[in-house]
Structure formats: structure tokens, C-alpha cells
Amino acid sequence: MKNAAAICVALLSAGMIAGQDRGKTEDIRDTFAGAWRLASLERPDADGKVQRINCSGSFIFTRDGHASVQVMERRPEAKSAAGPQQYSQGGYEASWGTYRVDERAHVFVFHIEGALVRSLIGKDLPRVYEFSGKQLIVKSTRSDEHWRVTWERY
């Protein structure tokens, strides 16, 4: 038993037990953490032409893994061609929940706990992310969704 304890201590010291990822997760969560304002939202129209949507919004991430997003279109479209999943109702999107980050894949998964569009509740929404200067660029991982959102730090 002493040998097992010694091995655990050695592995912990070398950062080889699950805790080593915890530090990385905390580091990347520090990068996400804070308030982001919507800089741009682009999505294809019914003809497939990419359109910049006139909207505003915010995305809030906490260091402990919680998130909340709200987006309001200034002139909501009756139907968008963003994909089969409905994220907004009447030109307004609001949801909150938790998130986890896969830093290697540059993906975060937003687990929806509550939303204006109730069919989203309980879903995991994986999102490709990229940090560029003071911007966070987010896209869907789904091949049938072609939107792109750029967030900037407040």
C-alpha cells in the first residue's frame, strides 16, 4: 500500500493524473470568462448568400463554467436559412447553462439549462471557437449550419 501511495504522489508531482487537465481548463476558462458584446452575426439567406444580420447581444462566460447568451435582431426575418435548428423566437435568442471546453479541438459545448426556445433545453450545442485579438469567433460544428458570430470584449 505504501508503494501505491508513493506512486500516486509521484504521478501527482509529475502532473500525470487528471488534475493536469484541470489547470489547462481553468486557463482557457480565464480566456473565455467575462462579458462579450456581439460585433457581427453572419448567416446565409434562403438563396445561400451570406448576409450580415442587423442585431445586438451579449454572451457572458464565468470562470466556473456557466454561460448566458442573448441576441436581438433589430428587424427580425420571418424565416432564416441558418439551419434546421431554431435558436430564436421572434428575432430574439436567450439561453443559459453551462459550458465545457475542448482546447485541443477548439470546441466548447454549451449545455442549455434554460432557453426562450424550449426545444433547446437539455441539449448540448458544440461550437467551434477561435480567439483573435480581443475577439471570440464562434461557428457551429454542424455541417448544415453556416452562421458565424464574432464577439468582442466589453
Mean pLDDT of 31-37: 98
Contacts of residue 31, Cβ cutoff 8 Å, sequence gap at least 6: 131
Query: Is 3 a domain residue?
Result: no
Query: Is 35 a domain residue?
Result: yes
Query: Is 93 a domain residue?
Result: yes
**pTM across the whole model:** 0.79
**pLDDT band of 142, cuts 50, 70, 90:** very high
Contacts of residue 20, Cβ cutoff 8 Å, sequence gap at least 6: none
Query: Is 50 a domain residue?
Result: yes
Query: Is 1 a domain residue?
Result: no
User: Which tops the pLDDT comparison, 60 or 22?
Assistant: 60
pLDDT exceeds cutoff 50 at 76: yes
Q: Average per-residue pLDDT in the chain?
A: 85
Residue 87 CA to residue 93 CA, distance in Å, equals 6
Q: Which domain range does residue 81 map to?
A: 22-153
User: Residue 73: which CATH number?
Assistant: 2.40.128.280
Query: Is 12 a domain residue?
Result: no
Q: How far apart are the two ends of the chain, measured CA to CA in Å?
A: 53
CB under 8 Å, gap of 24 or more: what pairs does 26-32 form?
A: 26/63, 28/101, 28/103, 29/61, 29/63, 29/64, 29/65, 29/101, 30/63, 31/131, 32/61, 32/99, 32/101, 32/108, 32/136
Give the per-residue pLDDT at 25: 56
Counting the structural domains of the chain, the total is: 1
Do the Cβ atoms of 109 and 122 come closer than 8 Å?
no
**pLDDT band of 84, cuts 50, 70, 90:** low
Q: What is the pLDDT of residues 85-113, one digit of tens each?
A: 899 999 999 999 999 999 999 999 999 99
pLDDT exceeds cutoff 80 at 16: no
Give the per-residue pLDDT at 78: 54
Nearest CA to 52 among 154, 151, 148?
148
